[in-house]
DNA sequence: CTCCTGCGGT
DNA sequence: ACCGCGGGAG
């Protein structure tokens, strides 16, 4: 962060003050930010938002909480119902993890979402980001919350580089160094940093002209140097992937109220929609459908039942 | 093509 | 430390 402004107040406080004021002014009106949102509702939102964009999450989140307003309500249903309600949010293992977390919350915490970070980390599907996000946003505890947006903001503001590299433990320390002392401001600042990364300090085309902390930005101050070659692993192509084949099986089972035959599941994996038009799949790996099927069994996302296949 | 409020397994 | 894991949108 640039410190070319003589100040009685530290730059840390100025950055937090400006960013928080911007957040109050400009932040999107997201439903899980409404006052009175339960810790469970926050937890559900954080699960859904892992690798899935806000706009796609909102309708699923509303429907989910209407149906399962408490951990106990979800835990009382079969996990397959959670997978079905997950719909097309992607990475459906998260639905299974969320159901498992609800069961753990009922069994270990009397049905109340814990507020302690270590207790949260022990829940299935809750990692370093989600645990701190729940503690900060649901309970107002003071913790650094660092997601991919915040890591990019820190990379630019503090380190003067265009993009963040691999996640590091020091990310939390970087955020801690900027975090306001009082809990309420700290919680807002965590959300504000994420929001800035989401709508201003974006990966591809940052809108620095609208950035409330541009004057302290190390990246801007050094002339927006080009992206240093980072080590970030590129995501594999989706088209033709095992993920796509798995997704087709899951889509078939979500829309089937009953179990389907193994053959139907394998055909779905191969991209055969079963209505007329033959799909060209000459270049496809012939072992892929079976591999996708087996991996879904291993994940517990589908089960075989008397020679047929259904959600768990 | 890239990116998106990450996570658990290895 | 690396990898697999959906699906949508720019």
A97 touches strand B (CB under 7 A): yes
In the sheet that holds A260-261, the strands lie side by side as A260-261, A308-310, A303-305
Residue A6 predicted with pLDDT over 60: no
The answer, yes or no, to whether residue A241 has pLDDT greater than 70, is yes
- Per the CB < 8 A criterion, the answer to whether A231 and A165 are in contact is yes
Average pLDDT over residues A122-138: 94
Predicted confidence band at A12 (pLDDT cuts at 50, 70, 90)? confident
Give the whole-angstrom CA distance, residue A156 versus residue A174. 12
pLDDT of residue A227: 65
> DSSP strand E in chain A: where?
260-261, 303-305, 308-310
Q: For residues A133 and A153, what is the distance between their CA atoms, to the nearest angstrom?
A: 17
Q: Domain A31-139: which CATH class?
A: mainly alpha
Lowest mean pLDDT, pick from A124-133, A138-147, A200-209, A222-231: A222-231
* Cβ of A54 near strand B (distance < 7 A): yes
Per-domain residue ranges of chain A: 11-22+144-221, 31-139, 242-310
User: Please, are residues A193 and A19 in contact by the beta-carbon 8 Å criterion?
Assistant: yes
Q: CA A54, A55, A58: angle at the middle one, nearest 5?
A: 80
Q: What is the pLDDT of residue A277?
A: 42
Q: Residue A204 above 50 pLDDT?
A: yes
Assign domain A11-22+144-221 to its CATH architecture. Answer: Orthogonal Bundle (1.10)
Distance CA A216, CA A109 (A): 43
Higher pLDDT, A56 or A226: A56
CA A196 to chain CA centroid, Å, is: 16
Report the share of chain A in percent with pLDDT over 70. Answer: 91
> Nearest CA to the C1' of C5 belongs to which residue?
A91
Task: Supply A304's token pair.
Answer: 């075989």
The more confident residue out of A249 and A236 is A249
Span A70-81, average pLDDT: 96
- Rounded CA separation A189/A168 (Å): 20
Residue found by looking up tokens 């980072």 in the block? A230
> How many angstroms separate the CA atoms of A282 and A263, rounded?
19
Q: Out of A11-25, A26-40, A159-173, A298-312, which region has the weakest mean confidence (pLDDT)? A: A159-173
Q: What is the pLDDT of residue A118?
A: 94
Contact of A288 with A269, CB cutoff 8 Å: yes
Q: What's the confidence (pLDDT) of residue A170?
A: 84
A46 is catalytic: yes
Q: What is the pLDDT of residue A280?
A: 45
Nearest protein residue to nucleotide C7, judged by CA and C1' positions? A90
- Cβ of residue A300 lies below 7 Å from strand B: no
Residue A239 confidence (pLDDT)? 84
Distances (CA, A) of A303 to A201, A253, A260, A296, A306: 44, 11, 11, 8, 10
Query: For the segment A133-176, what is each residue's pLDDT rounded down to a tens digit?
Result: 999 999 999 999 999 999 999 999 999 988 888 788 888 999 99
- Separation between the CA of A238 and the C1’ of B2 (whole angstroms): 12
Q: Report the pLDDT value the prediction gives residue A165, as an integer from 0 to 100.
A: 80
Q: Taking a C-beta distance cutoff of 8 angstroms, is the pair A42, A65 a contact?
A: no
* Per-residue pLDDT tens digits for A251-295: 999 999 889 999 999 999 988 764 434 444 435 688 888 999 999
Catalytic one of A26, A46, A104, A195: A46
Assess whether pLDDT exceeds 70 at residue A4.
Answer: no
Q: Do A11-22+144-221 and A31-139 come out as alike in CATH topology?
A: no
Q: Which residue is nearest to nucleotide B1 (CA to C1')?
A: A237
Interval A220-247 mean pLDDT? 80
């Amino acid at each position: 962060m640039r410190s070319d402004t003589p100040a009685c107040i530290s730059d840390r406080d100025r950055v937090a003050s400006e960013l928080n004021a911007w957040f109050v002014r400009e932040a999107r009106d997201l439903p899980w930010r409404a006052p009175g949102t339960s810790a469970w509702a926050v937890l559900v939102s954080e699960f859904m938002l892992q690798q899935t964009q806000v706009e796609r999450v909102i309708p699923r989140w509303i429907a989910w909480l209407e149906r399962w307003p408490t951990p106990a309500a979800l835990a009382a249903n079969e996990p397959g119902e959670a997978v079905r309600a997950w719909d097309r949010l992607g990475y459906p293992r998260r639905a299974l993890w969320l159901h498992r977390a609800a069961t753990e919350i009922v069994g270990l915490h009397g049905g109340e979402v814990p507020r302690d970070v270590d207790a949260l980390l022990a829940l299935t599907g809750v990692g370093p980001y989600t645990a701190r996000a729940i503690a900060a946003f649901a309970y107002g505890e003071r913790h650094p919350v660092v997601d991919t947006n915040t890591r990019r903001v820190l990379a630019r503001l503090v380190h003067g580089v265009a993009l963040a590299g691999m996640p590091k433990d020091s990310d939390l320390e970087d955020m801690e160094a900027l975090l306001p002392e009082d809990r309420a401001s700290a919680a807002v600042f965590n959300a504000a940093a994420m929001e800035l990364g989401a709508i201003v300090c974006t990966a591809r085309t940052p809108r620095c002209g609208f950035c409330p902390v541009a004057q302290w930005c190390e990246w801007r101050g050094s002339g927006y140097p080009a992206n240093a070659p980072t080590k970030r692993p590129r995501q594999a192509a989706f088209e033709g992937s095992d993920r796509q084949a798995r997704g087709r099986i899951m889509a078939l089972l979500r829309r089937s109220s009953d179990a389907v035959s193994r053959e139907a599941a394998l055909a779905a994996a191969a991209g055969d929609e079963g209505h007329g038009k033959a799909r060209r799949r000459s270049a496809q790996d012939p072992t892929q459908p079976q591999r996708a099927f087996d991996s879904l069994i291993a994940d517990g996302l589908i089960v075989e039942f008397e020679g047929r296949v259904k959600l768990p």
